Amino acid sequence: MAEFFTQYGTLLFMIILMVVMYLIMFRPQKKREKEIKQMRNNLEVGDMVVTESGIVGKVISTKDIDTVTIETGADKTKLFIIVTENVNQVA
């Protein structure tokens, strides 16, 4: 048994290290990306959103999955956002 660990110990250590790295780094990132995608697909008229550039506004129309029009500021300026990846969070 000791012979096995002396020959394959380094390989076994590397495999365990890769599994731990996956569990710590990549899995939570994929979970967060899935949550963001679901949030973007569930945008509705009237939702308050924050874009990636920090613009806060209210959704006034969603023409299809990739376009959203938001209303910002006191003078109700309208912004036409082409890709919903720019919406970072629902406020």
Residue with tokens 């309208």: 78
Per-residue pLDDT of the chain (91 residues; tens, 9 = 90+): 677 777 788 888 999 999 999 889 888 999 988 988 888 888 888 988 888 888 888 888 887 777 888 888 888 777 777 666 666 666 6
What are the pLDDT digits (tens) for 34-49? Answer: 988 888 888 888 988 8
Cα–Cα distances (Å) from 9 to 4, 65, 76, 79, in that order, read 7, 51, 65, 59
CB distance 36 to 74 below 8 Å: no
| Beta bridge partner(s), residue 77 | 72
Question: Is the pTM value of this prediction over 0.85?
Answer: no
Please give the backbone phi and psi of residue 45, each rounded to the nearest 5 degrees, phi first.
-60, 130
Cα–Cα distance for residue pair 30/50, rounded to 1 Å: 21
pLDDT at site 84: 62
- Report residue 5 as tokens: 């660990």
